[in-house]
Amino acid sequence: MFEGTSTVCYACHQQDYEGTTEPDHAGAGFPTDCSQCHTIAAWEGASFDHSFFPLTGGHDGPTCSVCHAGGVFDGTSTVCYACHQQDYEGTTDPNHAAAGFPTDCSQCHSITTWDDADFDHDGMYFPIYSGSHRDKWDACSDCHIDANDYSNFSCLGCHPHSDREKTDNDHDEEPGYSYDSFACYGCHPTGDD
């Protein structure tokens, strides 16, 4: 009765293989050797080596089809922006696109939490954690005057340059001087005199 029965999984589980939709095994071209992902003890809870893109943090919960739309598993991008472009472009506090923030989310965010971004303001933009600006500000909005466009900033709010006439006189020998924050930054890119 059992003589000649195939030991190949697919021989008995062809219907299961072809009927599986989450993920679509046949459409994705998964191997028909079920033992590569499943165990004999349990069909559910299949596992496979996903170490090339660890499913941790926010990537741990979604079903396969969230990232592998249309059952396409080969060639799915592992670049953050490929999936999070809408998040990047829709973020307004701060407006990432207007501020020219990098599209590599991992430069500021971690996989475990989207909140509490951490980036090197000193290294990427302007030294506010070191040098003469250290501990001189309380919030991003102290310098960034437009929450929708962090590329707009003001030096004049904190510095004693509210007396325009004095500032103009102090800079009268400077070629190209103008009473403007971007001009301040042009000559004082590190905040030094």
User: pLDDT by residue (tens digit) across 68-109?
Assistant: 877 677 788 888 898 889 989 998 777 888 877 889 888 888
87 within some domain: no
110 within some domain: no
Domain that holds residue 161: 121-187
Nearest CA to 145 out of 133, 157, 127, 132 is that of 157
82 within some domain: no
The DSSP symbol for 151 reads T
- Identify the sign of the CA torsion 98, 100, 103, 104: negative
**Domains in the chain, number:** 2
pTM assigned to the model: 0.54
Residue 80: the pLDDT is: 87
Same domain membership, residue 125 and residue 183:
yes
Residue 176: the pLDDT is: 83
